[in-house]
């Protein structure tokens, strides 16, 4: 496998995490517009994308393969908790 193939594998592995967090961050900013006026979208996305990426890697290591529904469920829960933490909880600045 060449370096370009390895890059595509990595991007496809992390694609669901980045896509779910981008959609969730945008919907969070849209639904709670007034409450999150001071919190930037990029901050919400970076925190939740980081957590979703870690959950995806842990799911791969624990379950032995990627694409399991348990990993996707844990990714959604981790994303939701991180968005709460960064937008409404103690992580809000």
Q: Is residue 28 part of a domain?
A: yes
At 90 the pLDDT is 84
Structural domain span for residue 82: 3-87
Q: Is residue 32 part of a domain?
A: yes
Note the pLDDT tens digit of each residue in 23-57. Answer: 999 999 999 999 888 889 999 999 999 999 999 99
Q: Is residue 74 exposed (0-12), middle (13-18) or buried (19+ Cβ within 10 Å)?
A: middle
pLDDT band at 8 (very low <50, low <70, confident <90, very high): very high
Query: How many folded domains does the chain comprise?
Result: 1
Q: Is residue 93 part of a domain?
A: no
Note the pLDDT tens digit of each residue in 66-93. Answer: 888 999 999 999 999 999 999 888 877 6
At 20 the pLDDT is 94
Q: Is residue 22 part of a domain?
A: yes
At 66 the pLDDT is 84
Q: Is residue 52 part of a domain?
A: yes
Q: Is residue 36 part of a domain?
A: yes
Place of tokens 């001071």: 38
What are the structure tokens assigned to 40, written together? 């930037």
Q: Is residue 92 part of a domain?
A: no
At 31 the pLDDT is 93
Question: DSSP states of 53-71 as a string?
Answer: HHHHHHHHHHHSSS--HHH
């Amino acid at each position: 496998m060449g370096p370009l193939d390895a890059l595509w594998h990595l991007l496809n592995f992390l694609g669901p995490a980045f896509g779910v967090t981008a959609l969730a961050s945008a919907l969070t900013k849209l639904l709670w517009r007034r409450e999150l006026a001071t919190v930037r979208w990029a901050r919400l996305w970076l925190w939740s994308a980081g957590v979703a990426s870690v959950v995806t890697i842990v799911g791969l290591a624990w379950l032995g393969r990627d694409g399991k529904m348990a990993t996707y469920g844990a990714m959604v829960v981790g994303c939701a908790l991180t968005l709460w933490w960064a937008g409404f909880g103690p992580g809000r600045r």
